[in-house]
Amino acid sequence: MIRLEPRTDPSQTMIILTPILAVLATMVVGGILFVTLGKNPFEAIRMIFWDPLFGEHAFYYRGQILVKAAPLIMIALGLSFGFRAGIWNIGAEGQFIMGAVMGGATGLALYPLDSFIVFPLMVVMGALGGFLWAMIPAFLKIRFNANEILVSLMLVYVAFNFLIGMVTGPLRNPDGFNFPESRSFQDFPAAHNPELWAGTGIHLGVLTTLGFVILAYIMITRHIFGFNVRLAGQAPRAAKFAGVSPNKMIAICLGLSGALAGMAGLFEVTGPAGKLTTTFPLGYGFTAIIVAFLGRLHPIGILLAGLLMAVTYVGGDIIQSQLSLPKASIQVFQGMLLFFLLAVDVLVNFRLRISKRISK
Amino acid sequence: MTLIEIRGLTKGYPGVVANDDVSFDIDKGEIHALLGENGAGKSTLVKMIYGLVRPDIGTMTLDGESFAPTEPRASRVKGVAMVFQHFSLFEALSVAENIALGMENPPKTNALSNQIRDVSLKYGLELDPNRLVGDLSVGERQRVEIIRCLLQDPKLLIMDEPTSVLTPQEVDALFTTLRRLRDEGTSILYISHKLEEIKILCNRATILRHGKVIGICIPKNETAKSMAEMMVGSKLKTPQKTVTNFGLPLLIIKNLSLKSTDPFGTSLKNITFNIRAGEVMGVAGVAGNGQDELMLALSGEVLTEVNSIQLENNFIGQSGPVERRLHGLLTAPEERLGHAAAPDMNLSENTLLSGFQRQKLGRRGFINKSGAAAFAEKIIEKFDVRTTSVSSAAKSLSGGNLQKFVMGREILQNPKVFIVNQPTWGVDAAAAAFIRQSLLELASGGAGVLVISQDLDELMEISDTFTVISEGRLSEPSPIKGVTTEKIGLLMGGSKKI
Amino acid sequence: MDISIVSLLATLIVAATPILLAATGELIVEKSGVLNLGVEGMMIIGAICGFIAAVNTDSPLIGFIVAALAGAALSLLFAVLTQYLLANQVASGLALTLFGLGLSALLGHGYSGIKPPSSPKMEWFGMAELPVVGPIFFNHDMMVYFSIFLVLVVWLFLKFTRGGLILRAVGENHEAAHALGYKVIRIRILAIMFGGSCAGMGGAYLSLVRVPQWTEGMTAGAGWIALAIVVFASWKPWRLILGAYLFGGVTILQLNLQANGFDMPVSYLSMAPYLVTIVVLVIMSADRRRASLNAPASLGKIFHASS
């Protein structure tokens, strides 16, 4: 019989090893999935993991990886603080949308003002939009004890409907033949978030994300705030003993993750997406949850996990076009990854023991 | 006549041998004591008899038949019943439902309720089958456990530290019930470390130390001291008290009231008392009478009316724990693992819980890791904490060592007032003596100390002033001299005055 | 406005049924002390598997059975993760939802735009012809009555049977239940699988009756709303019906308002069910004392038998 035996200290080796194990397991089971879909598994796995980085068209894909990784990492960084503290914001998708709408609307209201202040103002308003949207579950949790998981998730659907209302109403492009979409930010230089070096995919959002990774790393390893976040998650009563107010923790963690998601939304809508449309939300807010866990809620881990997840996104596009596999297959792949990670995670705090039954 | 024979039971866990070749017998109609310090292996042994844990080596026979229960159900069928120290009860379920869960083939609800009433009358264990267990006092909860066992006509009843949660009067009532059961032929395995109790109740005692049987004796023929020495293995120093002159009041509590948010919690009602410099005040009481709530209100984890708590010249009812610590009010809650310390964090990190601000273990919010490690080293050295290093996780320490660490962390920060709940609960005798001694030294250095405890002997030993908490009310503090166990018992039972 | 109360009530029952089914399952799961946030994922897997089975066999009944099995199979993944591998229940539930959404889209590739076989109405001895009462109560398919029957069964089980008592005990205090010798993990796995099959059937009701066709992501938060309704019901079976029908009513009302050209953009009306869910959650949670009395005390906590 295999038994789990608690370790006295979490295994540092396993902390690093488990995400790799999870990726390998996903490749194996994913390969089997491709076989059942009638495809060559080795070819498919190569297209997902290798081609985006080193394949024939990698020069184009590499940029795409950064474009997709940046919002995932930025959102996941914000979520990781809350997840560590046991505060579950799973409505980042909604905060992402609201950041894009509020920041985008700010820019569109100023059209065609040509001032250097426009874009920074939009970034601030985007972050504020996400922040305020996240403060709804925070307030309801603090004041009325309402479950933040359900409230933040419900607000995703509200935000999505709000976006539709906006692009079919006030924010609809007046010169756009009644299409449900806003004016393009490409046509509004002061509000545009362009690629900084052609072909690299790097835009301001990518650089900002990098900055946040460093900042988050310092906070979590050196600052008392990061310590309190960990404490609140591991031992909530000990956190109260230390003087950490649970309500403040809820407000800060939800607010922070909302602000980062909102800012990511703003960078996305003014850059890669280019305009507000009904198909603007791509599920980054949900995938970022996987990224946060895969990165072990650690800033450096999240950076790597975000890049990996972006690779699978790009790889997913490749298999979609070359093997004519449905887009959803990559979603299954990502879901599996999270499953395997949660499964092998047990090895961090437990060791496996094969025990014999002595007495019967 | 022998009921159960235990031969060579051995059980090991990673790093420790909990039971090493344990052998003894229990006769029919005998109250047999299992005596030993915390950590001596008593719990593991009874868990093996009850079928919760399987021995690595060794055999048992019950009534001459081989007995190797693989699960509690199997041992219940054979007539073994157990009353746990931490009750295995369900707060949101009724008494009858709780009892039904502990039986193999419970009768229909109505019939069961009648049976419960019958048994409770017969043995003087008053209990209403329809009440929610969450609404019962600790003593009443124990009755639920006992009745659950009695309804199955057990041959062997195991009781794990049954008196630790009872008032002296309740203890007497329990003993009457147990003697009656013995006279009817039931065997009782009675686990305790309270020697006086064992002397008056038990026929024989098996003494465990470090997982081994040290000896079997007849308690009537022994003194408490001789049994204590067998149990501990060395002579113990009793703590020495020095000062009796108190200074000015340091902590003034006036009309402190607090409504509990826990549906089964206790609300605090109009609590008023002072702690003076150099004074050790003891708060006795049966568990669940508001001790936890009082602790939270004093530590600042729950805020109260601003004027209700005054520390020197500051009104701190609305200040959180951090601010109170900066003013000099330090606390150590009952639950070491998870409240006073974070289990998965190492000792160095655990100093930050209460020391970050007061010990200046950081600047502008940035943590001074070497400072924290140095403080942890100091605690380990001064308080004799046995551990491999400051980077061991708190949960890897034994109960006694972690408690010494927690005490050291607070005491070494020179509190003006120190408040501690159950300072020696579940701690071995040597560590307990050490902790009591350091509390006395702290007070003689001019600090005010408040000790909340359910261990009356402990309070009698170290406190200068004495009070009892009952249903969220605090009795008027009085000097320890002249207080008798009987009076305390009445107060614990809810009387208003001594 | 032209809204018939009778047809409104009749359709709200249909709109509420998927959520009622899923919520009933989740109630049992939560009563055992487990929080499975993967209801949405299990529902949508049930929706597509039931749809595929029904279309290929031309039998809605087989569709529902397959959906129940598929939901249970998916929930088994969650059970293994949380019960054996001690994974965090919140994260595992989210994983289940994300995985379920992806897998359903993959399985459903090529099934959009097809009409499933229609589910026949139950025959209540012609009572469907009765005025008012007939169309509201006696003119529905089998699953509507099954969902109410299931609530009845769950209520009886929890209140009057020993199995129900043990389930509640496990959810209340798993350490104590373990000390008494109950198989906490086995009981919870069974509860989780029951929850999975109920969610699966709920999903299939969406794709086979309510809509009826397959579209990607068609559950649109129904699983999450089912979770909220369990809170609304304070973990009491009969209140699930109230909660689900209230939600169904809001959904149907806003759809009717949309159809009748109510002077408000469609997208804002579509927010209504989600906003109502939030409001309901807030109201039910506000009294902390009561909320903590009703919720199973071990809900969401990880159990590992240390002794």
Nearest CA distance, B237 vs chain A (angstrom)? 33
| pLDDT at residue B235, as a whole number | 62
* Closest CB to A164 among C85, C216, C267: C267
C86 to chain A: which residues are within 8 Å by CB? 4, 346, 349-350
Pairing of strands B448-452, B366-367: unpaired
Per-residue pLDDT of chain B (498 residues; tens, 9 = 90+): 889 999 999 998 776 788 899 999 999 999 999 988 777 888 889 989 998 889 999 999 998 889 999 888 888 889 999 888 777 889 889 999 999 988 877 888 888 888 888 888 888 788 888 899 888 887 888 889 888 888 888 999 999 888 877 777 888 888 998 999 999 999 999 988 778 888 889 999 999 888 899 889 998 888 877 887 788 776 656 666 665 678 899 999 999 999 987 777 889 999 999 999 999 999 988 888 899 999 999 999 999 999 999 999 999 999 999 999 999 999 999 998 899 999 989 999 999 999 999 988 988 889 999 999 999 999 999 998 888 889 888 988 888 889 999 999 999 999 999 999 999 887 878 888 899 999 999 999 999 999 999 888 888 889 999 899 988 899 888 888 877 777 777 777 766 554
Average pLDDT over residues A146-160: 93
Spatial contact of B235 and B229, defined as CB atoms under 8 Å apart: yes
Element (H, E) at C245: helix C237-259
| pLDDT at residue B225, as a whole number | 77
Nearest CA distance, B264 vs chain C (angstrom)? 9
In chain A, where the domains are located: 40-324
Whether residue B209 lies within 8 A of chain A, CB to CB, comes out as: no
* CB atoms B92 and C292 under 8 Å: no
| pLDDT at residue B443, as a whole number | 92
The one-letter amino acid at B190: Y
Q: Report residue A360's pLDDT band, with 50, 70 and 90 as the boundaries.
A: very low
Q: Report residue A192's pLDDT band, with 50, 70 and 90 as the boundaries.
A: confident
Nearest CA distance, B337 vs chain C (angstrom)? 16
The length of chain A, given as a count of residues: 360
* CB atoms A224 and B353 under 8 Å: no
| pLDDT at residue B498, as a whole number | 45
* CB atoms C102 and A333 under 8 Å: yes
Res. A254: pLDDT tops 70: yes
* CB atoms B57 and A358 under 8 Å: yes
Alpha-carbon distance of C35 to C18, in angstroms, equals: 19
Phi and psi torsions of A353, nearest 5°: -125, 130
In chain B, where the domains are located: 2-232, 249-492
Average pLDDT over residues C259-282: 86
| pLDDT at residue B227, as a whole number | 82
Res. A326: pLDDT tops 90: no
C177 to chain B: which residues are within 8 Å by CB? 88, 90, 101
| pLDDT at residue C3, as a whole number | 60
Lowest-confidence pick of A118-132, B113-127, C7-21? B113-127
Chain A segment 240-279 residues within 8 A of B by beta carbon are: 240-243, 245
Question: What is the torsion angle, in degrees rounded to the nearest 10, for the CA atoms of residue C3, residue C4, residue C7 and residue C10?
Answer: 90
The number of C-beta contacts closer than 8 angstroms across B and C is 61
* CB atoms B89 and C176 under 8 Å: yes
Res. C1: pLDDT tops 50: no
Pairing of strands B65-66, B80-83: unpaired
Q: Which residue of C has its CA nearest to A292?
A: C91
Alpha-carbon distance of B378 to B372, in angstroms, equals: 10
Whether residue B12 lies within 8 A of chain A, CB to CB, comes out as: no
| pLDDT at residue C306, as a whole number | 59
Cα angle B170, B172, B173; round to 5: 65
The number of C-beta contacts closer than 8 angstroms across A and B is 83
Listed in sequence order, the residues at least 6 apart from A253 whose beta carbon sits closer than 8 Å to its beta carbon are A81, A82, A85, A87, A89, A229
- Laid out side by side, the sheet with B156-160 consists of B80-83, B156-160, B187-192, B31-35, B204-209, B212-217
Higher pLDDT, B388 or C40: C40
Whether residue B92 lies within 8 A of chain C, CB to CB, comes out as: yes
Q: What is the CATH number of domain A40-324?
A: 1.10.3470
Q: Report residue A359's pLDDT band, with 50, 70 and 90 as the boundaries.
A: very low
Res. A251: pLDDT tops 90: yes
A37, burial (CB in 10 Å: exposed 0-12, middle 13-18, buried 19+): middle
* CB atoms B57 and A245 under 8 Å: no
C181 to chain B: which residues are within 8 Å by CB? 51-52, 71-73, 76
> Closest by alpha carbon to B140, among B152, B128, B130, B151?
B128
* CB atoms A289 and C265 under 8 Å: no
* Closest CB to C172 among B51, B87, B92: B92
Element (H, E) at C231: helix C222-232
Does residue B364 come out as left (phi exceeding 0), alpha (psi in the -120 to 50 range) or beta?
A: left
**CATH architecture, range B2-232:** 3-Layer(aba) Sandwich (3.40)
Which of B366, B369, B396, B405 to probe the A interface (max A CBs under 10 A)? B366
- pLDDT above 90 coverage of chain A, percent: 53
* CB atoms A161 and C270 under 8 Å: yes
Q: What is the CATH number of domain C5-123+133-294?
A: 1.10.3470
pLDDT in tens, A256-282: 999 999 999 999 999 888 889 988 888
Res. C150: pLDDT tops 90: yes
B451 forms bridges with which residues in the sheet?
B282, B420
| pLDDT at residue B265, as a whole number | 83
| pLDDT at residue B236, as a whole number | 59
Higher pLDDT, B409 or A174: B409
Nearest CA distance, C301 vs chain B (angstrom)? 15
- The interface predicted TM-score of the complex, written ipTM, equals 0.88
Average pLDDT over residues C19-32: 96
Class of domain B249-492: alpha beta
Chains that touch C (3 or more CB pairs under 8 A): A, B
Alpha-carbon distance of B334 to B424, in angstroms, equals: 9
Q: Report residue C270's pLDDT band, with 50, 70 and 90 as the boundaries.
A: confident
* Closest CB to C285 among A147, A164, A336: A147
For the record, the structure tokens of B189 come out as 């395995």
* CB atoms A241 and B339 under 8 Å: yes
For the record, the structure tokens of B367 come out as 């943590």
C180 to chain B: which residues are within 8 Å by CB? 72, 88, 101-102
Q: Report residue C301's pLDDT band, with 50, 70 and 90 as the boundaries.
A: confident
**Inter-CA distances, B312 with A289, B275, B324, B410, Å:** 50, 10, 11, 19
Q: Report residue A358's pLDDT band, with 50, 70 and 90 as the boundaries.
A: very low
A237 to chain B: which residues are within 8 Å by CB? 335, 338-339
* CB atoms B54 and A238 under 8 Å: no
Q: Which residue of A has its CA nearest to B341?
A: A238
Q: Report residue C96's pLDDT band, with 50, 70 and 90 as the boundaries.
A: very high
Handedness of CA C164, C167, C172, C178 (dihedral sign): positive
Res. C288: pLDDT tops 80: no
Phi and psi torsions of C158, nearest 5°: -70, -35
Nearest CA distance, A242 vs chain B (angstrom)? 5
Phi and psi torsions of A222, nearest 5°: -115, -20
